[in-house]
Amino acid sequence: MTAPAVVVEHVGKTFRLAHAVPADLKGRMLGLLGGTRVSYEPLVALDDVSLQVQPGEMVGLVGANGSGKSTLLQVIAGIYTPDSGRVEIRGRLSALLELGAGFSRDLTGRDNVFLNGALLGFSRDELRRRFDEIVAFAEVERFIDMPLSAWSSGMQMRLAFATAVHLDPEVLVLDEILAVGDDAFQRKCLRRVREIRAAGAAVLFVSHDLVSLEHVCDRAVLLQGGRVVTEGPPASVISTYRAMGAVSRTGERRWGSGHVRITGVTTSRGAITTSTFRTGDPLTIAIELETPAPVEQPVVGVAVRHQDGMLVSGPNSKMARAPIAVLHGRQRVTLDIPALTLLPGGYVIAVSVYDATLVTAFDHWEGCATLAVLEDGTDERFGVVTLGATWTISPGAGA
């Protein structure tokens, strides 16, 4: 069996966050003379993290900002020393962890390529043989002998990426760098990363572009709070991550005149928590209402938003031509959806009750429930809903 290219065993890393630190030297000296002490707060960035990456395997790291993804890559790249555990790298490592990392703005593009190559252990003759290919990939031929201080951030990114991926890495580490380039360059970068993997390199990849990550990675690892939550097939791990994101958006925010009060909201899978569904499942949303006095012709509405805030659908009883004559006392209104067309992701539910003119809000409950729509066995990912379409092939006109 082939030995892993990357081994991370029980790695921990903690930082100290300083509080009440004066910005200038004078303030710090006065603080020392006055007996002011700086307080520190421990920040656990990584907590007992273990994973392996095989040669020829691409592994994606998934998680919210602050989950420990970038810190883990920096530990693997040797920028940080772990407080506990160990990291073993077998082969030449090339890392691109931030825009222009390791590049000097005072040097020309040409000098930076040779400097970075030398730091990775390449001789000047080897770099000369690769130089034209690096510059052509980065598309910066006209500017290569100008100082980087005169370059745009996108040009610097392209040269940094081209240098990293053309120096025969056996382990390649990438952190969100593909998000900087335009669409055409991103596609070229992904093609190059696939070529490197096909040649036997191990690749660790971080991106918030979950669609790209799912399609290019062999495996995904989900981090939260510096710990590994789960790992496995990218589609399954991303579904879990999206469900966690939906939970984080659940809240309770009400406003309105109070003539009608929403006392509860449940789905066909549970109470006011995250309910788990798959594309195509039936869904029922039950809304419990209470009125101290009769309210004529109220309009009950439901809003479904993607976890990024985009409104997916907003049906209400008036537009559906399902009028409610009067509400009095305690009553229940249900919305039945025969087949959920939502694609995998996290979704947030809001419920409201308005008067017949849709002007006066009796009650509005934002984030009363969340839906986690999980992987349904299909590869459809683009957008938020499925159209249920079918594909056919037939002879063209004149055939």
Left (φ > 0), alpha (ψ -120 to 50) or beta: where does 112 sit?
A: alpha
Same domain? For 236 and 292 the reply is: no
Q: What is the C-alpha separation between 277 and 380, in angstroms, rounded?
A: 16
The answer on pLDDT for 316 being more than 90 is: yes
Same domain? For 273 and 165 the reply is: no
Single out the residue in 210, 230, 246 at which a domain terminates. 246
Predicted pLDDT of residue 296: 93
Number of domains comprising the chain: 2
CATH of the domain at 111: 3.40.50.300
Angle in degrees, 0-180, between the axes of helices 183-198 and 153-165, rounded to the nearest 10: 10
Q: Which domain holds residue 74?
A: 6-11+46-246
Same domain? For 220 and 279 the reply is: no
The answer on pLDDT for 375 being more than 60 is: yes
Instruction: Say what percent of the chain tops pLDDT 70.
Output: 86
Minimum mean pLDDT range among 3-7, 153-157, 211-215, 318-322: 211-215
Same domain? For 236 and 253 the reply is: no
Residue among 158, 164, 198, 196 nearest 178 (CA): 158
Same domain? For 148 and 263 the reply is: no
Predicted pLDDT of residue 139: 92
Single out the residue in 246, 273, 305 at which a domain terminates. 246
The answer on pLDDT for 4 being more than 90 is: yes
Same domain? For 258 and 212 the reply is: no
Predicted pLDDT of residue 388: 80
Single out the residue in 185, 216, 246 at which a domain terminates. 246
Scan for tokens 């407080």, then name that residue.
83
The answer on pLDDT for 26 being more than 70 is: no
Is 388 a member of any domain?
no
Phi/psi for 111 (5° steps) reads -65, -35
Predicted pLDDT of residue 16: 86
Same domain? For 195 and 324 the reply is: no
Is 193 a member of any domain?
yes
Q: Is residue 266 helix, strand or coil? A: strand
CATH of the domain at 270: 2.70.50.60
What is the per-residue pLDDT across 263-312, written as a single tens digit (0 to 9) for each?
A: 888 887 665 556 788 888 899 999 999 998 999 999 999 999 887 778 89
Predicted pLDDT of residue 32: 55
